[in-house]
Structures are given as structure tokens and as C-alpha cells.
Amino acid sequence: MLGCQPWPQDFAAFYRKMDCWRGETFGEMLRDRARELGEHIALTSGDKQVSYAALDRKVDQLAAGFQQIGIEKEDRVVVQLPNRIEFFEVCFALFRLGALPVFALPSHRYSEISHFCAFSEAKAYVVPDRFAEYDYLPMARKVQQNTPTLQHVIVAGDSEEYLALADLYSEAEFTAPEVKPDDIAFLQLSGGSTGLSKLIPRTHDEYIYSLRRSNEIVELNEDSVYLAVLPAAHNFPLSSPGVLGTLYAGGRVVLASGGSPDEAFPLIEQEKVTIAALVPPMAIIWLEAVKTRSYDFSSLQLIQVGGANFSAEIARRIQPAFGCKLQQVYGMAEGLVNYTRLDDPDDVIIHTQGRPMSPYDEIRIVDQEDREVEQGQVGELLTRGPYTIRGYYKAEKHNEKAFTSDGFYRTGDLVRMNEAGCIVVEGRAKDQINRGGEKIAAEEVEDHLIAHPNVLEVAIVSMPDKFLGERSCAFIIPHQQTPNKAELKVFLEERGIAAFKIPDRVEFVDTFPETALGKISKKALREIITKKLASV
């Protein structure tokens, strides 16, 4: 498999025998749904909508267009589109060609995109012209200049000197290559902890298994209407069960550009949404907004919340406020997804992050020496299973640390298992900040800051925040002159990093606290900033 670590043969045979992997591909899945459901609406976005049959046709036309410009099986294509119908046309067209979308988020900027393009040796990059007041073309130009493999920039909207996505739909025949169920379907992004995001190879068969299993747990069917408010490229809204799960079930997806109640609440009423997925800060905003706005939420059956720690105090308010069930979702782009079940007692739904979705998910909770801890004790979660990767894309060295020798993924999450067998996330061992569901690898941002002439040393840590759960704080030892905080922000913006990665706070210090081994003690830094915040 193209730069990837496949499942060992005996495991693959087992997952097939247990009927997890059924030999499905995304291209065929859409073909089947179009045959079965025809004019049933698949996707709604603003005043546009597309049926399963029409989506299937558009996908073929786009696949033909992609083929004409030379996109072939196994080519990588960085896709950075907001929640619009074209996003899924692009993805399925690439799936049918066996080409691999690399799922960037709309908030990514030059630094991230140029890394994804260079590292994946992308042949094409698909962008909107504008989204959320940002012009993508100047960034795309810079990316193209610096990525020798990049042959095409394809623009949804006003394309200027580049190819317009709208012009690629072609009536020409396209020759579909053989796409196998165990081929890689796409590359997703890791939240990262050591430097830049790693790429996560997901195959058709195992990802479709995760959809099928998620659908069973969430009871998704042809009557379901899924509201996508989170950026669809992310694993949670993509597959848990998300947009792809809904399409697998033959339901309808309503695409929203974001999670604001101004947009989402009228959509719930008009489109009779049955299920929506949120990160915790959005749930807080929705709970506030629902007090003053009266919309008909009677169609809503389930609100899923995941991606970051969700406090029990807030979790308990969902059901009474919206008259629907809550489901906590604790997952990761690398694979494992845990859900509370619809019929779990309130206590489980409010206080835990659920349990693995598959009976074949294997869980170990271990101490620092990889020894299993006693039941109920906190340790790092390791996992292996039918939809959890065995290695990152082209990252052999990193994989040695990120996986155990017997193939368990080291999640970096500190969890405990309660008596009911449910997982409670207690913290994190990895050097990452979870800013309301958006993941920041401390090292990645530290590497940018250290490039500033007045930064001698830097360490970024999380600080508690009522709304986002965590925000980021950069501790800096200045070099010669203390830099101005605003100037540091501009410096990072100019280097082109996603806005959510810019430290929320900067603290200048003379020295860093150290561990017994003489390393920077991030634990002590977290304590310093937590105390400081509590004292104001």
C-alpha cells in the first residue's frame, strides 16, 4: 500500500470473517444508492439540492474532467473546500478514480497547506475563491510556486488564471480504473503533537465499516436528516456517522457553513433536521441561544457532542433544552470512535465518553511502562481494531513511537474505564492543546515562534478556559529585546498559520521551570498560568 502500513494478513482475514470489511468502495456505494434511491435528496446546501441520482451523474462528469487533466489512480489532491455540495462531488469523483483527497480544513493557511501539498506530493489543489472573508487565490499562488509536483490549482468560484471547477464537468467517457476495497481512499490529518500534522491513510473498506457501525449505533436511516455544521473534512462530521454515514444510510445531509444558531436553528426547523454534531463550545452557544429564540426543534432526535472534553454540567442541560437525546462522541482521525448509546442511562451519557463502537476494538489502558493499570485507574489509552490505522502515511520513524510493536495506536489520551465499562477522558499525555475541538500541536507553533529574532526560547501550554475548555499560552524567554505581543501575532500570521493556532496569551519569563531530568516542565508552566488566571 502506497507509503502505508497495512493490517497484518491474519488481522485482515479476521476482520473480513467477522463481516466488518465487506469489500465495499465509496464509488460503488454512491452508485448503489443512486440506483436504489434515485430522486431522493442526498445533499442540501442553501437553495441548492442534489438527488442521489444527480449526484452520481455529476460525480461521473467530474471524474471524467479530472481524468482529462491527468489525475490518475493514487494521485494525491489536496481538497480545501467548505461545506458545499461541490466538496462531495470532488471527493466522490476522486474516489472513483482511485485518487486520494487530502482533507485540509478551510481554516488552514500557507504553512499547513504547503506542507500537505509537499508531503503528499500533490498533483492538484482544490480551493474556493473566497470563504469566511478569506481570499484563497493569493495563498494558492504561493503554494503552487513552492510545490514542484503541483500541476493544477482548481477553484470553486472565480478562478482567475486557474482552472474553474465548474468547467471540469465533462460528458466524455471516463475509464474507471479498478479501485479495490483495501485501497487507500483518502488521507486525513492528525491533530499532531510532534511538529506538523501527520497524514492518516484510510481505506474504503475499513472506513465504510466505521460508517455502517456508527449508523447502527445512532439508528440512522433513509428518513434521517443530518445537519453538518462542523467542517466536513474533519473525521467527526465526516464519519461519525456524519455526512458519509448519512449517505451510506440513504438519508439527507443539510450543509451549513458554520455552527452559529442564526444559521443552524432556522435550518433545523425548515429542513426537519433529526441529528446534528457539535463541538462543546458550539453546544454552549446553542444552549444560550435556545433560551431566547423560539424555533421548532421537534424533528431533532439527537445532538452529538465530541472532539473535546464536555463538562457534565453542560451536558446535563442538552436534553431538557432541545427535547432530544445527547450522545457523547470520543474519537480520533486515526480510527477508534467511542459513543454513549442511545439507551444508556443519563448518568452514562452525562458523565462518560461512551465505549468503542466495534466489538473488535481492542483497548488497553497503560502506565508509562506500558503495563496495564488496574480497573478504574487512569492511564494512556492504546487501541487496535478494524478501523484504526497501523501507521501514518510515509512516517516510518514516527510510527515506531506512535504504535506499539504489536500494532496498538498510542492515543496520547489519559483515560479511565468505569465499572460500567465506559471510558472517561481525564487528560492528555501528548503535547497538544485542544482548543474547543481544534487541535494545536505545541511543537508546530513553537517552531514558528522560535524563528522570531527576539525569541530565545518558547514553550506553549494549555490554560483552562470556561468556553473553549482550553486556550493556548506561549511562555517566551526573550532574546535581547522583549518582542511586542501584537508584533508576534502579525509575525505568525505572515508565516501563514491557521488563526486558531495563534497563542491566545503570551507570557515573558527569564527562565523555564525544569523537570528532574532538566527538560522544560510544561506541567509546571500550566500550573503557573492556571494560578495566575485564578488570581485575577
308: contact with ligand OOB by CB under 6 A: yes
Rounded least distance, CB 422 to ligand OOB, Å: 12
Of 126 and 308, CB closest to ligand OOB: 308
Site for ligand OOB (CB under 6 A): which residue of 333, 357, 445, 525?
333
218: contact with ligand OOB by CB under 6 A: no
251: contact with ligand OOB by CB under 6 A: no
Question: Cell digits for 516?
Answer: 528532574
246: contact with ligand OOB by CB under 6 A: no
220: contact with ligand OOB by CB under 6 A: no
Burial of 11 (0-12, 13-18, 19+ CB in 10 A): middle
Of 330 and 475, CB closest to ligand OOB: 330
Of 330 and 408, CB closest to ligand OOB: 330
Site for ligand OOB (CB under 6 A): which residue of 197, 353, 399, 472?
353
| Whether the Cβ atoms of residue 331 and residue 338 lie closer than 8 Å to each other | yes
Of 412 and 513, CB closest to ligand OOB: 412
Place of cell 431566547: 292
Of 49 and 210, CB closest to ligand OOB: 210
User: 3-class DSSP state for residue 53?
Assistant: helix
286: contact with ligand OOB by CB under 6 A: no
Question: Cell digits for 345?
Answer: 442511562
Q: Which of residues 443-502 bind ligand OOB (CB under 6 A)?
A: none
Rounded least distance, CB 306 to ligand OOB, Å: 4
Of 57 and 351, CB closest to ligand OOB: 351
| Whether the Cβ atoms of residue 318 and residue 446 lie closer than 8 Å to each other | no
d(CA 202, CA 208): 10
User: Residue 191, Cβ neighbours under 10 Å: how many?
Assistant: 20
d(CA 404, CA 400): 7
Site for ligand OOB (CB under 6 A): which residue of 24, 205, 413, 446?
413
Of 55 and 91, CB closest to ligand OOB: 91
Q: Which residues pair with 416 in a beta bridge?
A: 424
233: contact with ligand OOB by CB under 6 A: no
d(CA 405, CA 399): 10
Which of these ranges, 144-152, 307-315, 442-450, 476-484, lies near ligand OOB under the rule CB under 6 A? Answer: 307-315
Of 114 and 240, CB closest to ligand OOB: 240
The phi, psi pair for 240, rounded to 5°, reads -120, 65
Q: Which residue is nearest to ligand OOB (CB)?
A: 331
Task: Give 3-state DSSP helix, strand, coil % of the chain, rounded to 5.
Answer: 35, 25, 40
Burial of 477 (0-12, 13-18, 19+ CB in 10 A): middle
307: contact with ligand OOB by CB under 6 A: yes
78: contact with ligand OOB by CB under 6 A: no
| Whether the Cβ atoms of residue 82 and residue 45 lie closer than 8 Å to each other | no
154: contact with ligand OOB by CB under 6 A: no
411: contact with ligand OOB by CB under 6 A: yes
Site for ligand OOB (CB under 6 A): which residue of 27, 191, 231, 241?
191
**Positive/negative CA dihedral, 396, 1, 121, 335:** negative
| Whether the Cβ atoms of residue 201 and residue 393 lie closer than 8 Å to each other | yes
329: contact with ligand OOB by CB under 6 A: yes
192: contact with ligand OOB by CB under 6 A: no
Rounded least distance, CB 339 to ligand OOB, Å: 9
d(CA 52, CA 58): 10
| Whether the Cβ atoms of residue 124 and residue 59 lie closer than 8 Å to each other | no
Residues in contact with ligand OOB by the rule CB under 6 A: 191, 235-236, 240, 306-310, 328-333, 337, 353, 411, 413, 425, 428, 434, 439
